[in-house]
Amino acid sequence: MLFAVFMLAHVAGLGICANVRGQACDLIEPGATLHKVASGFNFTEGPTRDLAGNILFTDQPSNRIVKFSLNGDISTFLYPAGRANGMCFDAQGNLIACAEEKNELWSIAPDGKVTVIVSEYAGRPFNGPNDVWVAPNGALYFTDPFYRRAWGRHEHAPQSGEHVYYVSPDRKRVIRVASDLQKPNGITGTPDGKKLFVADIATGRTWAFDIQPDGSLTNKTLFCELGSDGMTIDEEGNLYLTGRGVTIFDKTGRKIGHIEVPEPWTANVSFGGPEHRTLFITASKSLYSIRLRVRGANPAK
């Protein structure tokens, strides 16, 4: 049964600066604490902010996309939802979703109408689009690892490996832009569209790439020795990685802190709220939030 804490009640014992050291503590708004926003889900994923600041996220095993409104309401935005995983809004207000059920990437209009953007590469289905980032010019970058799902159609990966793909802004061109990662998962980029971050969750590393004018990636550089399920970035260039809680790295790749989350697994993170200064965290059966001093860097992620 869903349990929503509309007043964002404090999670006992989680005063955030008692758990975050050094510079990362300075990122938290003075007096702010971690709050459990809602619980009672099966497994939460894919948080992203719409143009108004509302947060949408997925309850993947339940096959629905959930909306947490600024007024505290919890509602179902879309059901069934293609077993959606990672998501990100585009500038037009369409929700771009990794629809794993049929190995597709979707565009979901504000009224819930679904358009399939891509479903295959080189004549074969994708493994299962997992996380997506919308670049400032409207291009899409998404990770395509292979996980065996209860709802999966394939026993083995349809593609020759687990890669990162680019979709051009006009949606007419799909290219493979990173093919030397073991299991790419979390992904995000800088708001100027010049740099992409991709986590290789199998090897426990996150990589930075330079984005070229044609959408290709160059200058692969190790950002940090930690993989991630999902990620986001703030206006100061700090990167927020997930797994066991939320680990924060500054723009140089130096670890500056960790947010403890009282759940077995933290899947993803996104900034939201009217000022884009609340960090929302999807963790196992719940949705959490913490108010920060800094704003999210990307308008919809």
CATH of 3-291, one of 2.60.120.10, 3.30.1360.200, 2.120.10.30, 3.60.15.10: 2.120.10.30
DSSP for 99-127, written as a single string: EGGGTEEEEE-TT--EEEEE-EETTEE-S
pTM of the model: 0.93
Band of pLDDT at residue 11, cut at 50, 70 and 90: very low
Which positions ≥6 away from 174 have C-beta within 8 Å? 118, 121, 165, 166, 167, 168
Structure confidence by residue, pLDDT tens digits, 96-134? 999 999 999 999 999 999 999 999 999 999 999 999 999
Q: Give me the residues paired with residue 165 across strands.
A: 142, 176
Q: What DSSP designation does 264 have?
A: S
The pLDDT assigned to 263 comes to 96
Report the pLDDT averaged over residues 11-18. 44
Would you say residue 19 has pLDDT above 70?
no
Percent of the chain with pLDDT over 70: 92
Band of pLDDT at residue 26, cut at 50, 70 and 90: confident
Which positions ≥6 away from 214 have C-beta within 8 Å? none
The pLDDT assigned to 9 comes to 37
Report the pLDDT averaged over residues 268-295. 96
Q: Are 97 and 80 in contact (CB under 8 A)?
A: no
The pLDDT assigned to 248 comes to 96
Q: Are 248 and 228 in contact (CB under 8 A)?
A: no
Report the pLDDT averaged over residues 66-77. 96
The pLDDT assigned to 17 comes to 57
* Full strand arrangement of the beta sheet holding 114-118: 84-89, 95-99, 104-108, 114-118
Band of pLDDT at residue 260, cut at 50, 70 and 90: very high
Would you say residue 1 has pLDDT above 60?
no
Which positions ≥6 away from 93 have C-beta within 8 Å? 50, 51, 110
Report the pLDDT averaged over residues 51-58. 95
Would you say residue 16 has pLDDT above 60?
no
- Spatial separation of the C-alpha atoms in residues 82 and 117, rounded to whole Å: 13
Report the pLDDT averaged over residues 12-24. 50
